[in-house]
Structure 1
Amino acid sequence: MTNMEFKIVTREKDLQRAFKLRREVFIGEQGVPAELELDEDDKRAIHFIVQTPEAVIGTCRLLLVNDNLAKVQRMAIKKEYRNKGVGSRLLSEVMDFAKKEGLEELLLHAQTHAVAFYKNNGFNVLSEDIIEEAGIEHLKMNKIL
Protein backbone atom coordinates (compact mmCIF):
# COMPACT_ATOMS: atom_id res chain seq x y z
CA MET A 1 0.00 0.00 0.00
CA THR A 2 1.55 3.30 -1.06
CA ASN A 3 1.15 6.89 0.09
CA MET A 4 1.09 5.94 3.76
CA GLU A 5 3.03 7.91 6.34
CA PHE A 6 3.80 6.52 9.80
CA LYS A 7 4.65 9.11 12.42
CA ILE A 8 4.72 10.08 16.05
CA VAL A 9 2.09 12.69 16.84
CA THR A 10 3.59 16.06 17.67
CA ARG A 11 0.73 18.37 16.66
CA GLU A 12 -2.63 18.83 18.35
CA LYS A 13 -4.36 18.59 14.96
CA ASP A 14 -2.93 15.08 14.41
CA LEU A 15 -3.84 14.03 17.94
CA GLN A 16 -7.44 15.08 17.35
CA ARG A 17 -7.46 13.10 14.09
CA ALA A 18 -6.21 10.04 16.00
CA PHE A 19 -8.94 10.52 18.61
CA LYS A 20 -11.54 10.77 15.83
CA LEU A 21 -10.47 7.37 14.46
CA ARG A 22 -10.48 5.84 17.94
CA ARG A 23 -14.03 7.12 18.53
CA GLU A 24 -15.10 5.70 15.16
CA VAL A 25 -13.65 2.25 15.92
CA PHE A 26 -14.08 1.82 19.66
CA ILE A 27 -17.28 3.77 20.32
CA GLY A 28 -18.96 3.53 16.92
CA GLU A 29 -18.10 -0.04 15.94
CA GLN A 30 -17.44 -1.77 19.25
CA GLY A 31 -19.82 0.04 21.58
CA VAL A 32 -17.21 1.17 24.11
CA PRO A 33 -18.74 3.85 26.36
CA ALA A 34 -17.47 7.29 25.29
CA GLU A 35 -16.37 8.17 28.83
CA LEU A 36 -13.97 5.18 28.82
CA GLU A 37 -12.38 5.74 25.43
CA LEU A 38 -10.41 8.92 26.06
CA ASP A 39 -8.66 9.03 29.42
CA GLU A 40 -6.01 10.75 31.50
CA ASP A 41 -3.30 8.53 30.05
CA ASP A 42 -3.76 10.23 26.67
CA LYS A 43 -1.99 13.28 28.09
CA ARG A 44 1.20 11.38 28.90
CA ALA A 45 1.22 8.69 26.21
CA ILE A 46 3.17 8.77 22.97
CA HIS A 47 0.72 8.61 20.09
CA PHE A 48 1.40 7.14 16.66
CA ILE A 49 -0.62 7.54 13.48
CA VAL A 50 -0.68 6.14 9.97
CA GLN A 51 -2.06 8.57 7.45
CA THR A 52 -2.81 8.77 3.77
CA PRO A 53 -3.23 12.12 2.02
CA GLU A 54 -6.97 11.78 2.77
CA ALA A 55 -7.18 10.60 6.37
CA VAL A 56 -5.65 9.04 9.47
CA ILE A 57 -6.17 5.30 8.88
CA GLY A 58 -4.43 3.88 11.93
CA THR A 59 -3.39 4.87 15.43
CA CYS A 60 -2.13 3.55 18.71
CA ARG A 61 -0.50 4.87 21.85
CA LEU A 62 2.50 3.81 23.86
CA LEU A 63 2.29 4.34 27.59
CA LEU A 64 5.60 4.22 29.43
CA VAL A 65 5.45 2.23 32.68
CA ASN A 66 9.13 2.56 33.60
CA ASP A 67 12.53 2.78 31.89
CA ASN A 68 12.25 -0.78 30.59
CA LEU A 69 8.55 -1.33 30.01
CA ALA A 70 5.67 0.23 28.06
CA LYS A 71 2.10 -0.69 27.19
CA VAL A 72 0.75 -0.66 23.63
CA GLN A 73 -2.83 0.59 23.84
CA ARG A 74 -5.76 1.88 21.82
CA MET A 75 -4.65 0.38 18.53
CA ALA A 76 -7.24 1.10 15.86
CA ILE A 77 -7.23 0.69 12.08
CA LYS A 78 -9.90 2.22 9.86
CA LYS A 79 -12.27 -0.55 8.78
CA GLU A 80 -11.48 -0.46 5.05
CA TYR A 81 -7.73 -0.75 5.74
CA ARG A 82 -7.85 -3.82 7.99
CA ASN A 83 -6.20 -7.08 6.91
CA LYS A 84 -3.96 -5.17 4.49
CA GLY A 85 -0.80 -5.00 6.58
CA VAL A 86 -1.41 -1.51 7.99
CA GLY A 87 -1.67 -2.73 11.58
CA SER A 88 1.48 -4.84 11.34
CA ARG A 89 3.43 -1.93 9.86
CA LEU A 90 2.16 0.39 12.61
CA LEU A 91 3.08 -2.12 15.31
CA SER A 92 6.51 -2.53 13.73
CA GLU A 93 7.05 1.25 13.85
CA VAL A 94 6.04 1.30 17.52
CA MET A 95 8.38 -1.60 18.33
CA ASP A 96 11.27 0.09 16.48
CA PHE A 97 10.65 3.29 18.44
CA ALA A 98 10.52 1.36 21.73
CA LYS A 99 13.83 -0.39 20.97
CA LYS A 100 15.52 2.92 20.11
CA GLU A 101 14.26 4.31 23.43
CA GLY A 102 15.91 1.44 25.27
CA LEU A 103 12.72 -0.33 26.30
CA GLU A 104 13.04 -4.05 26.91
CA GLU A 105 9.42 -5.22 26.97
CA LEU A 106 6.03 -4.26 25.60
CA LEU A 107 2.76 -5.31 27.23
CA LEU A 108 -0.74 -5.14 25.80
CA HIS A 109 -4.26 -6.34 26.43
CA ALA A 110 -5.46 -7.83 23.14
CA GLN A 111 -9.10 -8.15 22.31
CA THR A 112 -9.60 -11.89 21.98
CA HIS A 113 -10.41 -11.64 18.26
CA ALA A 114 -7.03 -9.90 17.72
CA VAL A 115 -4.81 -12.37 19.62
CA ALA A 116 -3.71 -14.11 16.40
CA PHE A 117 -2.72 -10.74 14.90
CA TYR A 118 -0.49 -9.95 17.86
CA LYS A 119 0.96 -13.49 17.89
CA ASN A 120 1.85 -13.03 14.21
CA ASN A 121 3.70 -9.87 15.24
CA GLY A 122 5.79 -11.62 17.88
CA PHE A 123 3.69 -11.16 21.01
CA ASN A 124 3.05 -14.00 23.46
CA VAL A 125 -0.01 -14.71 25.59
CA LEU A 126 0.95 -14.26 29.25
CA SER A 127 -2.21 -15.75 30.70
CA GLU A 128 -5.28 -17.50 29.34
CA ASP A 129 -7.34 -15.70 32.00
CA ILE A 130 -9.85 -13.43 30.25
CA ILE A 131 -9.82 -9.78 31.29
CA GLU A 132 -12.98 -7.79 30.65
CA GLU A 133 -12.41 -4.15 29.69
CA ALA A 134 -15.23 -1.90 28.51
CA GLY A 135 -17.41 -4.98 28.03
CA ILE A 136 -14.87 -6.63 25.67
CA GLU A 137 -12.83 -9.76 26.42
CA HIS A 138 -9.03 -9.36 26.35
CA LEU A 139 -5.91 -11.45 27.01
CA LYS A 140 -2.63 -10.15 28.45
CA MET A 141 0.25 -10.38 26.00
CA ASN A 142 3.87 -9.27 25.88
CA LYS A 143 6.91 -9.04 23.65
CA ILE A 144 10.52 -8.94 24.78
CA LEU A 145 12.37 -6.51 22.54
Structure 2
Amino acid sequence: MKFERVTKEEDLKRVFKLRREVFIEEQGVPAELELDEDDNRAIHFIVYTPEAIIGTCRLLVKDNFAKVQRMAIKKGYRKKGIGSRLLSEVIDFAKEEGLKELLLHAQTHAVDFYKNNGFNIISEDIIEEAGLAHLKMNKIL
Protein backbone atom coordinates (compact mmCIF):
# COMPACT_ATOMS: atom_id res chain seq x y z
CA MET A 1 0.00 0.00 0.00
CA LYS A 2 1.28 3.47 -0.93
CA PHE A 3 0.20 6.94 0.15
CA GLU A 4 0.89 10.01 -2.00
CA ARG A 5 -0.37 13.26 -3.44
CA VAL A 6 -2.12 13.14 -6.79
CA THR A 7 0.03 14.60 -9.56
CA LYS A 8 -1.39 12.87 -12.65
CA GLU A 9 -4.71 13.50 -14.38
CA GLU A 10 -5.30 9.75 -14.68
CA ASP A 11 -5.05 9.35 -10.89
CA LEU A 12 -7.47 12.23 -10.37
CA LYS A 13 -9.99 10.46 -12.60
CA ARG A 14 -9.58 7.34 -10.45
CA VAL A 15 -10.14 9.49 -7.33
CA PHE A 16 -13.41 10.73 -8.80
CA LYS A 17 -14.43 7.14 -9.60
CA LEU A 18 -13.86 6.08 -5.96
CA ARG A 19 -15.71 9.12 -4.64
CA ARG A 20 -18.63 8.36 -6.97
CA GLU A 21 -18.71 4.81 -5.62
CA VAL A 22 -18.62 5.85 -1.95
CA PHE A 23 -20.57 9.10 -1.86
CA ILE A 24 -23.02 8.84 -4.76
CA GLU A 25 -23.70 5.11 -4.99
CA GLU A 26 -23.37 4.10 -1.31
CA GLN A 27 -24.52 7.24 0.49
CA GLY A 28 -26.90 8.75 -2.05
CA VAL A 29 -25.16 12.11 -2.41
CA PRO A 30 -26.43 13.89 -5.55
CA ALA A 31 -23.79 13.72 -8.31
CA GLU A 32 -23.97 17.46 -8.92
CA LEU A 33 -22.90 18.09 -5.30
CA GLU A 34 -20.12 15.53 -5.09
CA LEU A 35 -17.82 16.89 -7.79
CA ASP A 36 -17.38 20.65 -7.55
CA GLU A 37 -15.19 23.59 -8.56
CA ASP A 38 -12.98 23.07 -5.49
CA ASP A 39 -11.65 19.85 -7.04
CA ASN A 40 -9.59 21.97 -9.44
CA ARG A 41 -7.78 23.89 -6.70
CA ALA A 42 -7.66 21.28 -3.92
CA ILE A 43 -4.71 19.04 -3.12
CA HIS A 44 -5.75 15.41 -3.47
CA PHE A 45 -4.20 12.51 -1.55
CA ILE A 46 -4.56 8.82 -2.32
CA VAL A 47 -3.78 5.43 -0.90
CA TYR A 48 -3.48 2.64 -3.39
CA THR A 49 -2.56 -0.97 -3.94
CA PRO A 50 -1.14 -2.31 -7.22
CA GLU A 51 -4.73 -3.03 -8.27
CA ALA A 52 -6.63 0.14 -7.35
CA ILE A 53 -6.96 3.40 -5.46
CA ILE A 54 -8.59 2.40 -2.17
CA GLY A 55 -8.69 5.72 -0.36
CA THR A 56 -8.72 9.42 -1.02
CA CYS A 57 -8.97 12.76 0.70
CA ARG A 58 -8.73 16.33 -0.49
CA LEU A 59 -7.30 19.37 1.25
CA LEU A 60 -8.56 22.83 0.42
CA VAL A 61 -5.97 25.37 1.59
CA LYS A 62 -6.93 28.93 2.54
CA ASP A 63 -4.52 31.34 4.25
CA ASN A 64 -3.17 29.65 7.43
CA PHE A 65 -5.70 26.83 7.60
CA ALA A 66 -7.07 24.09 5.41
CA LYS A 67 -10.26 22.11 5.18
CA VAL A 68 -10.15 18.31 4.99
CA GLN A 69 -12.84 17.12 2.62
CA ARG A 70 -14.12 14.16 0.61
CA MET A 71 -12.36 11.50 2.68
CA ALA A 72 -13.38 8.10 1.33
CA ILE A 73 -12.13 4.55 1.82
CA LYS A 74 -13.28 1.79 -0.53
CA LYS A 75 -15.72 -0.71 0.95
CA GLY A 76 -13.84 -3.79 2.11
CA TYR A 77 -10.83 -1.73 3.23
CA ARG A 78 -12.56 0.17 6.04
CA LYS A 79 -11.86 -0.38 9.74
CA LYS A 80 -8.28 -1.49 8.98
CA GLY A 81 -6.44 1.71 9.93
CA ILE A 82 -6.07 2.88 6.33
CA GLY A 83 -8.14 6.02 6.88
CA SER A 84 -6.04 6.98 9.91
CA ARG A 85 -2.82 6.49 7.95
CA LEU A 86 -4.16 8.57 5.07
CA LEU A 87 -5.29 11.32 7.44
CA SER A 88 -1.85 11.24 9.08
CA GLU A 89 -0.27 11.89 5.67
CA VAL A 90 -2.58 14.87 5.18
CA ILE A 91 -1.77 16.22 8.66
CA ASP A 92 1.98 15.85 8.07
CA PHE A 93 1.69 17.69 4.75
CA ALA A 94 -0.29 20.51 6.40
CA LYS A 95 2.37 20.89 9.10
CA GLU A 96 5.16 20.95 6.51
CA GLU A 97 3.27 23.70 4.67
CA GLY A 98 3.13 25.75 7.88
CA LEU A 99 -0.63 25.56 8.27
CA LYS A 100 -1.93 26.28 11.76
CA GLU A 101 -5.30 24.53 11.75
CA LEU A 102 -7.30 21.86 9.94
CA LEU A 103 -11.07 22.12 9.75
CA LEU A 104 -13.60 19.55 8.59
CA HIS A 105 -17.28 18.72 8.59
CA ALA A 106 -17.53 15.13 9.78
CA GLN A 107 -20.47 12.91 8.99
CA THR A 108 -21.92 12.13 12.39
CA HIS A 109 -21.10 8.41 12.08
CA ALA A 110 -17.42 9.36 11.54
CA VAL A 111 -17.00 11.76 14.48
CA ASP A 112 -15.28 9.15 16.68
CA PHE A 113 -12.85 8.33 13.86
CA TYR A 114 -11.79 11.98 13.68
CA LYS A 115 -11.66 12.32 17.48
CA ASN A 116 -9.30 9.31 17.54
CA ASN A 117 -7.12 11.20 15.07
CA GLY A 118 -6.85 14.33 17.22
CA PHE A 119 -9.79 16.40 15.97
CA ASN A 120 -12.21 18.16 18.31
CA ILE A 121 -15.86 19.08 17.88
CA ILE A 122 -16.11 22.87 17.67
CA SER A 123 -19.89 23.10 17.34
CA GLU A 124 -22.62 20.73 18.51
CA ASP A 125 -24.97 22.17 15.87
CA ILE A 126 -25.77 19.60 13.19
CA ILE A 127 -25.04 20.82 9.66
CA GLU A 128 -26.83 19.17 6.77
CA GLU A 129 -24.68 18.75 3.68
CA ALA A 130 -25.90 16.74 0.70
CA GLY A 131 -28.68 15.37 2.88
CA LEU A 132 -26.25 13.97 5.47
CA ALA A 133 -25.76 15.15 9.08
CA HIS A 134 -22.31 16.62 9.88
CA LEU A 135 -20.53 18.25 12.82
CA LYS A 136 -17.81 20.91 12.59
CA MET A 137 -14.43 19.74 13.89
CA ASN A 138 -10.87 21.06 13.95
CA LYS A 139 -7.31 20.17 14.82
CA ILE A 140 -4.75 22.77 15.85
CA LEU A 141 -1.38 21.89 14.31
- Report TM bin, short chain: over 0.9
The Cα of 1:51 is off from its aligned counterpart by 0.3
The Cα of 1:124 is off from its aligned counterpart by 0.1
The Cα of 1:71 is off from its aligned counterpart by 0.1
> 1:73 aligned to 2:69?
yes
The Cα RMSD (Å) is 0.3
Matches within 5 A, 1:10-89: 10-66=7-63, 68-89=64-85
The Cα of 1:65 is off from its aligned counterpart by 1.6
Q: How big is each residue's C-alpha offset from its partner over 1:92-141, in whole Å with a ceiling of 9 and x where there is no partner?
A: 00000000000010000000000000000000000100000000000000
Query: How far apart, CA to CA, are the structure 1 residues paired with 2:62 and 2:99?
Result: 10
User: What SS does structure 1 have at the residue aligned with 2:80?
Assistant: coil
Counterpart amino acid of residue 115 in structure 2: K
Counterpart amino acid of residue 33 in structure 1: P
> Which has the larger share of strand?
2
Query: How far apart, CA to CA, are the structure 2 residues paired with 1:51 and 1:61?
Result: 15
- Structure 1's consecutive aligned runs of 4 or more residues displaced over 3 angstroms after TM superposition are none
Q: How big is each residue's C-alpha offset from its partner over 1:39-97, in whole Å with a ceiling of 9 and x where there is no partner?
A: 0000000000000000000001000121x100000000001000000000000000000
Query: How far apart, CA to CA, are the structure 2 residues paired with 1:6 and 1:104?
Result: 23
Query: How far apart, CA to CA, are the structure 2 residues paired with 1:60 and 1:19?
Result: 11
Query: How far apart, CA to CA, are the structure 1 residues paired with 2:94 and 2:86?
Result: 12
Q: Give TM-score, length-normalised by structure 2.
A: 0.99
What is the percent sequence identity of the aligned residues?
A: 82
Query: How far apart, CA to CA, are the structure 2 residues paired with 1:103 and 1:81?
Result: 30
Query: How far apart, CA to CA, are the structure 2 residues paired with 1:30 and 1:65?
Result: 28
Structure 2: which 5+ runs fail to align?
Answer: none
User: What SS does structure 1 have at the residue aligned with 2:87?
Assistant: helix
User: What SS does structure 1 have at the residue aligned with 2:54?
Assistant: strand
Structure 1: which 5+ runs fail to align?
Answer: none
